[in-house]
Structures are given as structure tokens and as C-alpha cells.
Amino acid sequence: MISDPDSKWMKYVNSLLDEIDPHVVKMHVLNAGYQAGFYGFSKTSEFAKEHSYRIPWIILMDPTSACNQHCKGCWSAEYGHKISLSYEDLDSIVTQGEELGIFFYMMTGGEPLIRKADIIRLAEKHNRSFFYAFTNGTLVDNAFCKEMKRLGNISLALSVEGFEEQNDFRRGEGCFNKDMKAMDLLKENGLVFGTSTICP
Ligand code: SF4
């Protein structure tokens, strides 16, 4: 695999080294790799042995059920946008989680970036943890990318349904191009991001 420069993994490693900001790489390796994957996992396993119950290595939480979009068939668009966790509750969940050895926090919604100021605050305070948010991409702007770059411990997965026609059929006209613009901004800022998509 290493000797084949065209293998997808070598291309991935090379683009990580060439395109991602060094501080972002360092924080991803330390927080998502060492802290969550190694140290955290060892700590939660010790708890499991000591107390005979398992502790997860990851917590999934929704900062808000609110969303700025109305995609077809989504509960967030249909049930109203009234439920959000306060910053204090989010902070308490992460604080308690870290005490147990949980250093990976995944966020969905609603649209988590409606709370982007609180996500930045949370990632800054809990700088040994890693935060991963599933987003529709419409609220990604340059100021947010700069903050992600400064901290290095946040990564995003941008939702796409397919190419423009399929995506905008469900998500609304113009959404595909907004997603592409968000990806361009993330790339320009040397950030790590992925996509979230549904296989038919
Ligand atoms: S962007 Fe996501 S949360 Fe918002 S309405 Fe669409 S599918 Fe639902």
C-alpha cells in the first residue's frame, strides 16, 4: 500500500500532509487519536472491569433541534424547533464525560451550527476532547473556519444527498452550491472535513 503512490490511502495521507494546517493535524492526532482512541478507551475499559458496566467511548448529543432548513421528511423541519441544550448543560455533559474517559463528542440536530458560538466555546474549554458535527453546511463561514483552525479539535461532516438535482430535490434549491462553497472554505483554511450521505 505504501509503495503504491496511487493507492487511495497514500493519496489520503499525502493530501493530509500537503493540505491540512499542521496545528489541525496535531490536534486531530492528539485528541481524536491518542486522547479519545487510546487513553480514553483504556480508562473506560478500566471502569468496566472495576464496576462491571460499560462506559461508551463516544457521546452523541444534539445541541439543538432547531434547523434553518426544511428538508422533505425530516423530523426537525416537521416538529418545530423548540428544544435546545444550554451551554451549561453541554459543558456539564463534556465535563462529566471527560472524568469517565470520554473524549469524543459527536453532534447532530437539528442543525448544530446554529449553536456555533457555543461549540467554539466548548471546544476551547475542553481542549483535550474532539468534536465532530454533522451539518447542512449553510452556516459555515470564514470566521467560523478561522476559529476551527485556531482550535484544531473540531471537524465537520457535510450532508449531501447526491449531486445537485438529487440534493436540492430534498433540501431546497441552492443548497448543493452552498454545501460546495462551505467545502471550499474548509479546504482553503486547511481543515479536515467529510460528507454524510445516504446510500440508496
Ligand atoms: S438540514 Fe438536516 S436537520 Fe435540517 S431540515 Fe434538513 S435534514 Fe433536517
SS (H, E, C) 22-81: HHHHHHHHHHHHHHHHHHHHHHHHHHHHHHCCCCCCEEEECCECCCCCCCCCCHHHHCCC
Q: Is 136 close to ligand 1, i.e. is its CB under 6 Å away?
A: yes
One digit per residue, pLDDT tens: the chain, 200 residues? 778 878 988 988 888 889 999 999 999 999 999 999 999 989 999 988 888 888 999 999 999 999 999 898 888 877 666 789 999 999 999 999 999 999 999 999 889 999 999 999 999 999 999 999 999 999 999 999 999 999 999 999 999 999 999 999 999 999 999 999 999 999 999 999 999 987 65
pLDDT at residue 76, rounded to an integer: 81
Q: How far is the CA of 14 from the centre of ligand 1 (A)?
A: 33
Distance, in Å, from the CA atom of 146 to the CA atom of 131, rounded to the nearest integer, reads 16
Element (H, E) at 166: helix 164-171
Q: Which atom of ligand 1 is nearest to the CA of 68?
A: 4
Cis peptide upstream of residue 174 (ω within 30 degrees of 0): no
| CB-based contact 65:82 (threshold 8 Å) | yes
What's the grid cell of residue 74?
A: 425530516
- How big is the CA angle at 136 (ends 132 and 138), to the nearest 5 degrees? 115
Nearest alpha-carbon partner for 106 in 83, 129, 85: 129
Q: Which of 62, 64, 69, 79 for mutating ligand 1's site (highest number of atoms within 8 Å of CB)?
A: 69
What pLDDT score was predicted for residue 133? Answer: 98
Distance 66 CA to ligand 1 centre (A): 9
Instruction: Give the pTM.
Output: 0.92
Q: What is the pLDDT of residues 42-68, one digit of tens each?
A: 999 998 888 888 899 999 999 999 999
Please tell me the number of Cα atoms within 13 Å of 7 on its side-chain side. Answer: 7
CA distances from 143 to 40, 133, 169 (A): 31, 17, 29
Task: Convert 47-62 to b/e letters by CB count within 10 Å (16 or more is b).
Answer: eeeeeeeebebbbebb
Residue 1's pLDDT is 75
Of ligand 1's atoms, which has the minimum distance to the CA of residue 76? 8
pLDDT at 47: 87
* Residue 199 pLDDT: 65
Q: What is the pLDDT of residues 125-150, one digit of tens each?
A: 999 999 999 999 999 999 999 999 99
67 touches ligand 1 (CB under 6 Å): yes
CA-nearest residue for atom 3, ligand 1, is 110
Helix axes 116-125, 142-151, angle to 10 degrees: 10
Query: Is 109 near ligand 1, meaning CB less than 6 Å away?
Result: yes
In angstroms, what is the span from residue 168 Cα to ligand 1's centroid? 12
Q: Measured in angstroms, how far is the CA atom of residue 94 from the centroid of ligand 1?
A: 25
Quote the ligand 1 centre to 173 CA distance (angstroms).
14
